[in-house]
Amino acid sequence: MLLMGALMGFALIFNHNPAGATGQQNDNTKDMVWAASDGVRHAIYISTWSNNSWSDPVKVTTDNTDNITPCIDVAADGTKYLVWTTVDTKGHRIRYAVYSGNAWSAPKELPNQPEGANAPFIAVDDAGTAWVVFTGNDGVDDDIYCSRFIKGAWSKPSRVNAPNQTPDMNPYIEITASNTVVATWQGFREEGYTMLQSLWGKGKWQAEEPAAAEEAASAEEDTTAAQDTIPDFVVDKRQVFTRSYTK
Protein backbone atom coordinates (compact mmCIF):
# COMPACT_ATOMS: atom_id res chain seq x y z
CA MET A 1 0.00 0.00 0.00
CA LEU A 2 1.17 3.51 -0.81
CA LEU A 3 -0.69 6.39 0.77
CA MET A 4 0.11 9.90 -0.35
CA GLY A 5 -1.11 12.82 1.71
CA ALA A 6 -4.06 13.27 4.02
CA LEU A 7 -7.36 11.54 3.38
CA MET A 8 -9.30 14.69 2.62
CA GLY A 9 -8.53 17.12 -0.18
CA PHE A 10 -5.36 15.59 -1.66
CA ALA A 11 -4.30 13.11 -4.29
CA LEU A 12 -4.11 9.54 -3.03
CA ILE A 13 -2.51 6.41 -4.45
CA PHE A 14 -3.26 2.92 -3.14
CA ASN A 15 -1.92 -0.40 -4.35
CA HIS A 16 -4.10 -3.50 -4.31
CA ASN A 17 -3.49 -7.08 -5.36
CA PRO A 18 -6.94 -8.57 -6.13
CA ALA A 19 -6.59 -12.23 -5.23
CA GLY A 20 -7.21 -14.61 -8.06
CA ALA A 21 -7.45 -11.92 -10.69
CA THR A 22 -7.23 -13.50 -14.12
CA GLY A 23 -6.74 -10.97 -16.86
CA GLN A 24 -9.07 -8.32 -15.43
CA GLN A 25 -6.14 -6.53 -13.81
CA ASN A 26 -2.44 -6.62 -14.59
CA ASP A 27 0.77 -4.99 -13.49
CA ASN A 28 -0.02 -1.82 -15.45
CA THR A 29 -3.70 -1.29 -14.61
CA LYS A 30 -5.01 1.57 -12.49
CA ASP A 31 -8.39 3.12 -11.79
CA MET A 32 -8.48 6.83 -11.08
CA VAL A 33 -11.60 8.53 -9.69
CA TRP A 34 -12.03 12.20 -8.91
CA ALA A 35 -14.53 14.95 -8.16
CA ALA A 36 -14.71 17.95 -10.46
CA SER A 37 -17.16 20.71 -11.30
CA ASP A 38 -19.16 20.30 -14.49
CA GLY A 39 -20.16 23.96 -14.36
CA VAL A 40 -23.22 23.35 -12.19
CA ARG A 41 -22.18 20.89 -9.51
CA HIS A 42 -19.35 18.54 -8.55
CA ALA A 43 -19.59 15.18 -10.28
CA ILE A 44 -17.63 11.92 -9.98
CA TYR A 45 -15.48 10.79 -12.91
CA ILE A 46 -13.38 7.71 -13.63
CA SER A 47 -10.55 6.85 -15.99
CA THR A 48 -8.60 3.59 -16.31
CA TRP A 49 -4.91 3.23 -17.11
CA SER A 50 -4.29 0.27 -19.39
CA ASN A 51 -1.84 -0.40 -22.24
CA ASN A 52 0.17 2.66 -21.24
CA SER A 53 -2.60 5.23 -21.59
CA TRP A 54 -5.59 6.64 -19.72
CA SER A 55 -9.08 5.96 -21.05
CA ASP A 56 -11.46 8.80 -21.81
CA PRO A 57 -13.07 10.05 -18.57
CA VAL A 58 -16.50 8.64 -17.78
CA LYS A 59 -18.97 10.69 -15.73
CA VAL A 60 -20.58 8.43 -13.11
CA THR A 61 -22.95 10.92 -11.43
CA THR A 62 -25.47 13.12 -13.25
CA ASP A 63 -27.73 14.30 -10.41
CA ASN A 64 -28.17 17.81 -9.02
CA THR A 65 -26.09 17.28 -5.88
CA ASP A 66 -22.43 17.88 -5.14
CA ASN A 67 -20.50 14.60 -5.19
CA ILE A 68 -17.06 14.53 -3.60
CA THR A 69 -14.36 12.33 -1.94
CA PRO A 70 -14.55 9.27 -4.26
CA CYS A 71 -12.81 5.94 -3.62
CA ILE A 72 -12.70 2.73 -5.66
CA ASP A 73 -11.58 -0.88 -5.50
CA VAL A 74 -12.06 -4.05 -7.58
CA ALA A 75 -12.87 -7.68 -6.81
CA ALA A 76 -11.01 -10.61 -8.33
CA ASP A 77 -13.79 -11.12 -10.90
CA GLY A 78 -13.38 -7.54 -12.17
CA THR A 79 -16.40 -6.06 -10.37
CA LYS A 80 -15.62 -2.48 -9.35
CA TYR A 81 -17.07 -0.73 -6.31
CA LEU A 82 -17.11 3.06 -6.20
CA VAL A 83 -18.15 5.10 -3.14
CA TRP A 84 -18.31 8.84 -2.50
CA THR A 85 -19.95 11.59 -0.42
CA THR A 86 -22.99 13.42 -1.75
CA VAL A 87 -23.89 16.85 -0.37
CA ASP A 88 -27.22 18.66 -0.72
CA THR A 89 -29.74 20.52 1.44
CA LYS A 90 -30.30 17.33 3.47
CA GLY A 91 -26.63 17.17 4.48
CA HIS A 92 -23.87 14.63 3.80
CA ARG A 93 -24.54 11.01 2.80
CA ILE A 94 -22.64 8.07 1.29
CA ARG A 95 -23.53 6.77 -2.16
CA TYR A 96 -22.11 3.94 -4.22
CA ALA A 97 -22.17 2.46 -7.71
CA VAL A 98 -21.08 -0.95 -9.01
CA TYR A 99 -19.43 -1.70 -12.35
CA SER A 100 -20.15 -5.21 -13.59
CA GLY A 101 -19.81 -6.20 -17.20
CA ASN A 102 -19.59 -3.00 -19.19
CA ALA A 103 -21.65 -0.37 -17.36
CA TRP A 104 -22.01 1.40 -14.03
CA SER A 105 -25.13 0.84 -11.97
CA ALA A 106 -27.28 3.80 -10.99
CA PRO A 107 -25.96 5.45 -7.82
CA LYS A 108 -27.62 4.33 -4.60
CA GLU A 109 -27.39 5.42 -0.99
CA LEU A 110 -25.67 3.26 1.59
CA PRO A 111 -28.53 2.09 3.86
CA ASN A 112 -28.87 2.85 7.57
CA GLN A 113 -26.07 5.39 7.62
CA PRO A 114 -25.70 7.79 10.57
CA GLU A 115 -26.08 11.57 10.36
CA GLY A 116 -23.45 13.47 8.43
CA ALA A 117 -21.89 10.36 6.85
CA ASN A 118 -18.87 11.36 4.77
CA ALA A 119 -15.32 10.52 3.63
CA PRO A 120 -15.87 6.86 2.63
CA PHE A 121 -13.02 4.50 1.87
CA ILE A 122 -13.53 1.08 0.27
CA ALA A 123 -11.50 -2.13 -0.03
CA VAL A 124 -12.43 -5.58 -1.36
CA ASP A 125 -11.15 -8.76 0.31
CA ASP A 126 -10.17 -12.09 -1.23
CA ALA A 127 -13.72 -13.42 -0.91
CA GLY A 128 -15.11 -10.51 -2.91
CA THR A 129 -16.63 -8.74 0.10
CA ALA A 130 -16.52 -4.95 -0.16
CA TRP A 131 -15.72 -3.11 3.08
CA VAL A 132 -16.52 0.59 3.47
CA VAL A 133 -15.38 2.77 6.36
CA PHE A 134 -16.57 6.34 6.81
CA THR A 135 -17.11 9.11 9.33
CA GLY A 136 -20.57 9.62 10.83
CA ASN A 137 -22.09 11.47 13.78
CA ASP A 138 -23.86 9.68 16.63
CA GLY A 139 -25.47 12.87 17.92
CA VAL A 140 -22.54 13.72 20.18
CA ASP A 141 -19.39 13.54 18.05
CA ASP A 142 -17.92 11.97 14.92
CA ASP A 143 -17.16 8.24 14.95
CA ILE A 144 -15.82 5.71 12.46
CA TYR A 145 -18.32 3.25 10.97
CA CYS A 146 -18.01 0.24 8.70
CA SER A 147 -20.44 -1.56 6.41
CA ARG A 148 -19.88 -4.72 4.29
CA PHE A 149 -21.41 -5.61 0.92
CA ILE A 150 -22.25 -9.31 1.16
CA LYS A 151 -24.38 -11.24 -1.34
CA GLY A 152 -25.84 -8.09 -2.83
CA ALA A 153 -26.73 -6.32 0.42
CA TRP A 154 -25.02 -3.92 2.80
CA SER A 155 -24.70 -4.80 6.46
CA LYS A 156 -25.88 -2.33 9.09
CA PRO A 157 -23.00 0.08 9.81
CA SER A 158 -21.11 -0.77 12.99
CA ARG A 159 -18.86 1.54 14.97
CA VAL A 160 -15.13 0.80 14.67
CA ASN A 161 -13.60 3.08 17.30
CA ALA A 162 -13.97 2.71 21.07
CA PRO A 163 -16.94 4.55 22.66
CA ASN A 164 -15.91 8.11 23.47
CA GLN A 165 -16.98 11.74 23.34
CA THR A 166 -14.14 12.96 21.14
CA PRO A 167 -13.87 13.17 17.33
CA ASP A 168 -12.71 10.27 15.14
CA MET A 169 -12.23 11.00 11.43
CA ASN A 170 -10.43 10.39 8.11
CA PRO A 171 -10.61 6.58 8.00
CA TYR A 172 -9.13 4.20 5.49
CA ILE A 173 -9.29 0.42 5.27
CA GLU A 174 -6.97 -2.14 3.74
CA ILE A 175 -6.75 -5.89 3.22
CA THR A 176 -3.37 -7.34 4.16
CA ALA A 177 -1.54 -10.12 2.32
CA SER A 178 -3.03 -12.58 4.84
CA ASN A 179 -6.55 -11.22 4.09
CA THR A 180 -6.77 -9.42 7.44
CA VAL A 181 -9.05 -6.39 7.40
CA VAL A 182 -7.47 -3.35 9.06
CA ALA A 183 -9.14 0.04 9.63
CA THR A 184 -6.97 3.08 10.36
CA TRP A 185 -8.12 6.58 11.29
CA GLN A 186 -7.36 9.77 13.20
CA GLY A 187 -8.80 10.08 16.69
CA PHE A 188 -8.58 12.74 19.36
CA ARG A 189 -7.37 11.19 22.59
CA GLU A 190 -5.73 12.51 25.75
CA GLU A 191 -2.82 14.32 24.12
CA GLY A 192 -4.42 15.35 20.84
CA TYR A 193 -4.98 13.65 17.49
CA THR A 194 -3.28 10.33 16.89
CA MET A 195 -3.43 7.54 14.30
CA LEU A 196 -5.40 4.50 15.51
CA GLN A 197 -6.12 1.03 14.14
CA SER A 198 -8.56 -1.81 14.64
CA LEU A 199 -8.56 -5.33 13.15
CA TRP A 200 -11.65 -7.30 12.18
CA GLY A 201 -11.72 -10.65 13.91
CA LYS A 202 -14.23 -13.15 15.31
CA GLY A 203 -17.08 -11.26 13.67
CA LYS A 204 -16.37 -7.87 15.22
CA TRP A 205 -13.91 -5.00 15.41
CA GLN A 206 -11.19 -5.57 17.96
CA ALA A 207 -10.05 -3.01 20.53
CA GLU A 208 -8.43 0.02 18.96
CA GLU A 209 -4.67 0.42 19.25
CA PRO A 210 -2.15 3.09 18.20
CA ALA A 211 -1.21 2.63 14.55
CA ALA A 212 2.24 1.35 13.72
CA ALA A 213 4.80 4.10 13.28
CA GLU A 214 5.11 3.51 9.53
CA GLU A 215 1.33 3.78 9.09
CA ALA A 216 1.18 7.05 10.99
CA ALA A 217 4.07 8.43 8.96
CA SER A 218 2.53 7.42 5.62
CA ALA A 219 -0.56 9.49 6.32
CA GLU A 220 1.60 12.60 6.52
CA GLU A 221 3.68 12.09 3.36
CA ASP A 222 3.99 14.85 0.80
CA THR A 223 1.51 14.69 -2.09
CA THR A 224 3.86 15.90 -4.81
CA ALA A 225 4.60 12.44 -6.24
CA ALA A 226 0.92 11.53 -6.29
CA GLN A 227 -0.07 14.72 -8.09
CA ASP A 228 2.69 14.26 -10.65
CA THR A 229 0.99 11.04 -11.82
CA ILE A 230 -2.35 12.75 -12.56
CA PRO A 231 -3.06 13.38 -16.26
CA ASP A 232 -3.69 16.88 -17.58
CA PHE A 233 -7.39 16.27 -18.24
CA VAL A 234 -7.92 16.26 -14.46
CA VAL A 235 -7.83 20.00 -13.85
CA ASP A 236 -8.78 19.98 -10.17
CA LYS A 237 -6.32 17.67 -8.42
CA ARG A 238 -7.61 18.19 -4.88
CA GLN A 239 -9.91 15.15 -4.78
CA VAL A 240 -8.26 12.40 -6.80
CA PHE A 241 -7.99 8.75 -5.77
CA THR A 242 -5.94 6.24 -7.77
CA ARG A 243 -6.02 2.50 -7.15
CA SER A 244 -3.11 0.60 -8.68
CA TYR A 245 -3.59 -3.13 -9.24
CA THR A 246 -0.69 -5.55 -9.10
CA LYS A 247 -0.36 -9.31 -9.36
Residues present in the chain in total? 247
Whether the pTM exceeds 0.85: the reply is: yes
**Distance of alpha carbon 164 from alpha carbon 166, whole angstroms:** 6
Tens of pLDDT along the chain (247 residues)? 333 333 444 456 666 655 444 334 445 699 999 999 988 899 999 999 998 999 999 999 999 999 999 999 999 999 999 999 999 998 999 999 999 988 999 999 999 999 999 999 999 999 999 999 999 998 899 999 999 999 889 999 999 999 999 999 999 999 999 999 999 999 999 889 999 999 999 999 999 999 986 665 555 444 444 555 789 999 988 899 999 987 5
Go through 208-228 and write b for each residue having 16 or more CB atoms within 10 A of its CB, e for each that does not: beebeeebbebbeeebeebbe
Amino acid 39: pLDDT: 86
**Distance of alpha carbon 129 from alpha carbon 121, whole angstroms:** 14
Amino acid 99: pLDDT: 97
Amino acid 199: pLDDT: 98
Tell me phi and psi for residue 163, to 5 degrees.
-55, 135
